[in-house]
Structure 1
Amino acid sequence: MAKMNQGLAVSLLIPRSIDDLATGEKILDLWESKLPNLLPERYGNWEPLRGVFDINDKARMLESWKSPFIASRRKPYLDSMISMGLMKLEFHGSWDVTTKIGEVDLEEIKEFVEVASSELDVDHCSINLLSEQEVQSGRQSGTILVANSRATDFGFMIASHRLNQSLPDVYWLTIYGPPYIELFGRDHLLAAPVYRVTELRTGHIMVQLTEDINDMIVNPGHFAFVRSRFKEHVGQDAFYSVDHTGPYRVPTFNRRQAPGV
């Protein structure tokens, strides 16, 4: 089984700048309705975080709605950063959440990413368990951040510009938006040889590699096999590999308006 303090990382990449207050309010609403047990205690735009997070006073918190919007909580552990997607190399706005697997309800996290992916019209979303193997491979692909001086805590982030080079990997649960559905083919994605593939109401496609996220720890060989088989199914040349030579296959990204605009 995964250790109780094993990091659990969620990453959402949204194909537009998200610095407008309407999107900020939508994200705070999603936090309140879908992650009620992971509401932050503190927020701000730099460390140390000075603001007291009060979900009943969203207007005050939105006064700080600029990049980066950082939020944290001691227990259940939460470290979250929202990047507005305004930098030259940032095609996407992003919302990254790191917590501890033993302190949260994984089904609640899954429901959150399903709803948030649809509501925010993501290009890519993932849930990843930061096992020792994932940390090692993520440091190679550039998705792992060292969170303390002893290199014992880690964060996870897929940078927007990274997707212009390749996908870093496929994760225990990944949601693909329009660019990747076009790249891989909708029917081909839906036929992927994994535990479960689900088409969401917005047309996004959710891929869950195995039934149990603990497979990454207790049955890593099986997890690696399913992960590799998925990549072979949609095309290995879309995913980062230390041994890869030649160009990667990447989609064309188009900025889209917020849903309902």
Structure 2
Amino acid sequence: MLEKMMPTVVFSFLTPANIRSSEIAKSFFESVNTDLNGASLGKYGEVEPLSRDFANDLDGACKLWEQNLFWSETQRKGSGAVLHGTSRRHTNLSFYFDTPAPDGPAWIKFLTSVSHLLAVDYSSVHFFDKKSRTEEDEVLEGITSHDIQESLPTIAWAGCFGKPYVELIGKDDFESSGFVVVEPITESLIFCQLTSDPLDYIDNYETFRSRQDSVKSILGKDYFLGAPNATVPDFQFEHEVA
């Protein structure tokens, strides 16, 4: 009997900051354990095969975080990585896991707290069944610094926009663009939620897509994938030259 595939949730964080400290790593992993019940945290290491266990050696993972770190967990088919940036590229922290049912409030709590911790320029949570519906949405399955330096791909179910976007687009435009929730986290970090339920992407896609298109039109399509010479922020990076 074939095993039924579960939907997948992907979290992505792109930060210009140097986040190599073990204290930041510990705070991140504590948030995964507290808010997401440890989803995706199984084995970890620098390269495959991953042989060290989070349950027995969290301190080792925090120390290894200073380099590039990979992790995976077989039960919920999750995995993640932190890939540190350079003077021209964001640090990319992303991970995913399968889940039988979404927990929007927990995901939002995690997204906003970690976005604040990492001082992100951009973060998102994307929830989909089997595969994303469009090429633009597929980018949200593994968005990179290169992607946002070219344009925003589209609007995720929920995300945070950091200082470069707040300065470029403006808080007033975010607040009037049609998101169901817009909340400032700090003066330079704003949380935006597209619809009330992450399941809308799976169960009410046409309504979800209509809201996506409407928000992009109000914010300005020049910021998004498909625009010729898309308008992007002037990103400033704190990393040492690699």
TM over 0.5: yes
> Residues 202-221 of structure 1 correspond to what in structure 2 (within 5 A)?
203-221=188-206
What corresponds to 1:97 in structure 2? 95
For 1:43, the equivalent position in structure 2 comes to 44
The Cα offsets for residues 228-259 of structure 1, whole Å up to 9 and x where unpaired, read as 11111111011102xx3x311000112359xx
Q: Which residue of 1 aligns with 2:230?
A: 248
Equivalent position amino acid for 2:167 in 1:
E
* 1:96-115 alignment runs, 5 A limit: 96-102=94-100, 105-115=103-113
Q: Secondary structure at the match of 2:19?
A: coil
Aligned residue number for residue 62 of structure 1: 62
Unaligned runs of 5+ residues in structure 2 are: none
* TM-superposed deviation, 1:58: 3.4
| Identity rate, percent | 24
The answer (yes or no) to whether the contact 1:17–1:92 under 8 Å persists in 2 is: no
The answer for the alignment partner of 1:238 in structure 2 is: 223
Mark the CA change 1:206 to 1:102 in structure 2 (over 3 Å): closer, same or farther. same
TM-score (norm 1): 0.80
Runs of 4+ in 1 over 6 A off after TM superposition: none
| Aligned mates of 1:115, 1:63 — CA distance in 2 | 22
Query: Residues 12-27 of structure 1: matches in 2 within 5 Å?
Result: 12-27=13-28
Equivalent of residue 126 in structure 2, options 125, 128, 138: 128
Alpha-carbon distance between aligned partners in 1 of 2:198 and 2:119, rounded to the nearest angstrom = 25
Task: Look up the SS of the partner of 1:117 in the other structure.
Answer: helix
Q: What is the CA distance between 1:4 and its match in structure 2? A: 6.3
* Distance in 2 of aligned mates of 1:106 and 1:177: 21
1:96-115 Cα offsets, whole Å, 9 max, x none, are: 11112316633222210011
Q: Structure 1 residues 63 and 37, CA, compared in 2 at 3 Å: closer, same or farther?
A: closer
2:78 aligned partner: 78
Aligned residues: 236
TM-score (norm 2): 0.86
